[in-house]
Structure 1
Amino acid sequence: MSMDTRNKRRMQAGSRRRRVIEEDENNKYETVDLSGMCLYAISNLPLNLAIISKLDLSNNNLQSIPESLTARLLNVVVLDVRSNQLNSLPNSIGCLSKLKVLNVSGNLLQSLPRTIENCRSLEELNANFNKLSQLPDTIGFELENLKYLYVNSNKLSFLPNSTSHLTNLRVLDVRLNCLRSLPEDLENLIKLQVLNVSQNFHYLTTLPYSIGLLISLVELDVSYNRITALPESIICLKKLQKLSVEGNPLVSPPMDVIKQGLDVVKEYLCDKINGRTHENSSKKTSLFGKLAKWGSFNGVNASHVDGREGLVTLSPRRSVDGLASPRYMGMFSPRRLFSPKS
């Protein structure tokens, strides 16, 4: 019996056993589960692809997905192809205008097709455990609904600048890569709650000052890198509850301060800004310094001094939350920044 025949029989048997019909008022949609069936190829599915809302092809031995198959999945919302042997994704994946969840983790992908930016309904992209060396340059400009981006355990050396335009992003997981830096303008990620850049080991040595503008950040993990100093702007992260920095050769703050908890870390950094530590910051023209001067950070207003030159005191007059208001969001819009008029 040929391999194609075996595959066809497995798919037919699986589709009979694992098809679930979901009905709404006007349409019928199917959830099709063909996971764990030792499939080496997939073609000529004995199904009406146009009515499938969830297709699970995980835990097989697939090396490719036919362009014609994805092009006909007009109503698919969830596509799960994790734990296969995929070297690439079809360009026709850009036709999946209703796709919300795409799981391609545990494959052999070296890149993602640029057409993925056409999946404008996408809310979750999981590409963990692949061989990605880069993400599409424009991935952040069109995926405006993306909330969860998981790309850990790859070979990424940088994130595209367009990442900072993912204004609805809640979780960004880029641990276990080869990151050398993060985008400088992170301030647009106003809904980001979890940022994990741990275990980039000897590659990642600094964090951008704009990390202090992540006004919704609850958890920050930068452990096991080569970071020697935390940016002072971290004191502005009001919602931050968990800060993981172990495994770094930190000098500022020193480890004895780190061990005393987040509040003590913030106090140390605040003292450093005000010149109350033995260390003097050399970043006088840094983003944080400028924002402090302009009064953009909550609680920091350079127009108030404590009787001594250069000593910044706390002032509640202007909140960083204002940057997230509709008045300012237009300033960060990709269409505004990259329009011909600009």
Structure 2
Amino acid sequence: MMYEIQQVRMEMMKKRKEKKTGIEIERVEEVDLSGMSLDSVPNPSLNLAVIHKLDISNNNIEVIPESLTARLLNIMVLDVHSNQLKSLPNSIGCLFKLKHLNVSGNLLESLPKSIENCRSLEELNANFNKLKKLPDTIGFELVNLRKLSVNSNKLDFLPYSTSHLTNLRILDARLNCLRSLPEGLENLINLEILNISQNFQYFHTLPDSIGLLISLVELDVSYNKITILPNSIACLKNLKKLCVDGNPLVSPPMETVEQSLNAVKEYLIERMNGTLKTPSTKKSWFGKIKKWGTFNGSTQNDRKQRMDKDGFIMHEYRSLDGLATPARSIGMFSPRRIFSPRSHYTT
């Protein structure tokens, strides 16, 4: 009976598609073996090279044969989620036309390096596995990838090559052990949604380069250990949603965050410009010392500021005990100030 069911569900489905030049029959072969309590992948009677979509999800499959995968030459959608897979066959690298791959809900600790050969891949879903790392050069090869979902794994970093996924729209890396984001984040010029929430005690700092994600619409960094948001977030013109709940935020304070996204941006701009006002109910001890003439130094309000032709604020510092602090030229919104090492501008 089970064999008969499999044969019925593995029948090729033909669809007709009308085109402007006339009526043309287009074959779209789909094989659906999902939810059948299978322990292994059956060897279908049809030619594997004609299959465009294979769904063997929600079974108990532990191994996908190398020989079977290598013959799926024209497959575009492969769904193997919710099985007992501990590894993927290396022959998956032969699937040059594969666009959607779903391997979520398995027991994978790594992805084969050969997956980099799937250069047509647009969506990779590897959620709910045991991944400890991704292939080091995965981002250099999967140039068409638009969505990368690796949430609920054991990743403690994303490889540097991830920052070269220039067509990436969605990056979901929540519920891992991430400690940082890769360098070169500004290369992700099409990234719209970034979710690195719930990395809990591992994730402490956002890089300044996050402000160069020019297409970013949603940023979720909730439930981490972030205390300070970088000023560069104020430069995200397309940002519509910012989630920072569950962080021990100090700057900006949570009362500012709870007001609105605009309030956060205004706070960061003021902090960037050095015009941030902090409430004070008591006179400072410094003011009292100056009042009684025990100190001749100038206060911050006494220091001269002037604007140069490029819009930079120039601060003049007084020497202390013969040691002079060098003057600096810092732009209010200059990327040089935000994204470059401090030592680079010390003269």
TM-score (norm 1): 0.79
Q: Give the counterpart letter for 2:51 in structure 1.
A: I
Looking at structure 1, the residues matched to 260 and 94 of structure 2 have their Cα atoms a distance apart, in angstroms, of 49
Q: What is the deviation of 1:42?
A: 1.4
Q: What is the deviation of 1:184?
A: 2.2
Looking at structure 2, the residues matched to 174 and 213 of structure 1 have their Cα atoms a distance apart, in angstroms, of 19
Q: What is the deviation of 1:306?
A: 5.8
Q: What is the deviation of 1:303?
A: 2.5
Q: Please, what is the CA RMSD of the aligned residues?
A: 2.1
Computing the radius of gyration over CA atoms, which structure comes out larger, 1 or 2? 2
Give the % identical residues: 66
Aligned to 1:13: 5
Q: What is the deviation of 1:311?
A: 6.7
Asked if the contact 2:272/2:332 (under 8 Å) is kept, the reply is no
Q: What is the deviation of 1:130?
A: 0.3
Q: Give the counterpart letter for 2:217 in structure 1.
A: V
Q: Deviations over 1:197-238 (max 9, x none)?
A: 000000000011110010000000000000011111101100
> For residues 1-342 of structure 1, what are the structure 2 equivalents within 5 Å?
10=2, 12-17=4-9, 19=11, 20-22=13-15, 25=24, 28-277=27-276, 303-305=310-312, 312-313=331-332
Q: Deviations over 1:35-94 (max 9, x none)?
A: 011100114222210000000000000001000000000000000000000000000000
Looking at structure 2, the residues matched to 27 and 242 of structure 1 have their Cα atoms a distance apart, in angstroms, of 42
Looking at structure 2, the residues matched to 96 and 79 of structure 1 have their Cα atoms a distance apart, in angstroms, of 10
Asked if the contact 1:76/1:96 (under 8 Å) is kept, the reply is yes
Aligned residues: 287
SS in 2 for 1:115: helix
SS in 2 for 1:55: strand
Unaligned runs of 5+ in 2: 18-23, 279-307, 317-328, 336-347
SS in 1 for 2:200: coil
Looking at structure 2, the residues matched to 128 and 57 of structure 1 have their Cα atoms a distance apart, in angstroms, of 17
Aligned to 2:20: none
Aligned to 1:287: none
Q: Deviations over 1:180-206 (max 9, x none)?
A: 111121011000000000000000000
Q: What is the deviation of 1:308?
A: 6.1
Q: Give the counterpart letter for 1:14 in structure 2.
A: Q
SS in 1 for 2:115: helix
Q: Give the counterpart letter for 1:184 in structure 2.
A: E
Asked if the contact 1:11/1:34 (under 8 Å) is kept, the reply is no
- Mean Cα deviation higher: 39-48 or 91-100: 39-48
SS in 2 for 1:303: coil
Asked if the contact 2:14/2:26 (under 8 Å) is kept, the reply is no
Looking at structure 2, the residues matched to 235 and 160 of structure 1 have their Cα atoms a distance apart, in angstroms, of 27
Q: Give the counterpart letter for 1:161 in structure 2.
A: Y
Looking at structure 1, the residues matched to 87 and 309 of structure 2 have their Cα atoms a distance apart, in angstroms, of 52
Q: What is the deviation of 1:29?
A: 3.5
Q: Give the counterpart letter for 1:49 in structure 2.
A: L
Looking at structure 1, the residues matched to 27 and 258 of structure 2 have their Cα atoms a distance apart, in angstroms, of 57
Looking at structure 2, the residues matched to 244 and 15 of structure 1 have their Cα atoms a distance apart, in angstroms, of 49
Looking at structure 1, the residues matched to 113 and 2 of structure 2 have their Cα atoms a distance apart, in angstroms, of 33
